[in-house]
Structure 1
């Protein structure tokens, strides 16, 4: 007999990672829903902490996407191990190589690193 998952069940790292990847096609609210007020994104030149900053980061990212970007988007590697997810992707000629690492705690992205080479 199968049991339904409890609505209070904490998502696994794989589930959070899968949702995060799908959320880019679902919009800003879906993206931000994977974070908490205590989440941080480490970038090359700054660290963003909290939902307002994370929302602003993804809003700027989504608004800055040029026509043709998603058609060129390709995942090179993705892996989840324990509470860590790793992604390598490209969208040539817009982004030659990018990498994201996500530390997932309690069903949310606690820390993300992001680096991209244009």
Structure 2
């Protein structure tokens, strides 16, 4: 989460590959180029006020699957090395 707070898109993408898939409200985001296209406007829209109010409500990790719930929504993330 530190890279998101820092608005560091390159840092965020260090955990992604061409095989990575994000599931969003607007559909799937696949691969590095599309992931960058998703995260660049996302982090640009993060205001200091929003970041200050961010709360992680729940974080569960099982193997390469992560499930997180935060105050603005729900994300399910799979990270594979």
Which of the pair is proportionally richer in strand? 1
Would you identify which runs of 4 or more consecutive aligned residues in structure 1 move more than 2 Å? none
TM-score normalised per structure 2: 0.87
Q: How large is the Cα RMSD of the aligned pairs?
A: 1.3
Query: Tell me, which stretches of 5 or more residues in structure 2 are unaligned?
Result: none
**Higher RCO structure, 1 or 2 (CA under 8 Å, sep 6+):** 1
Q: By how many angstroms is 1:38 displaced? A: 1.4
Separation in 1, partners of 2:60, 2:21:
21
> Is residue 2:5 matched to residue 1:25?
yes
Indicate the residue corresponding to 1:86 in structure 2: 67
The alignment status of 1:62 with 2:37, answered yes or no, reads: no
The two structures have a TM-score, normalised by structure 1, of 0.62
With 42-51 and 71-80 compared, the bigger mean Cα shift is at: 42-51
Q: Which has the higher helix share?
A: 2
> Based on CA coordinates, which of the two structures has the bigger radius of gyration?
1
Matched, 1:48 2:29: yes
Number of corresponding residues: 80
**SS across alignment from 2:17:** strand
Where does the alignment leave 5 or more consecutive residues of structure 1 unmatched?
1-20, 108-118
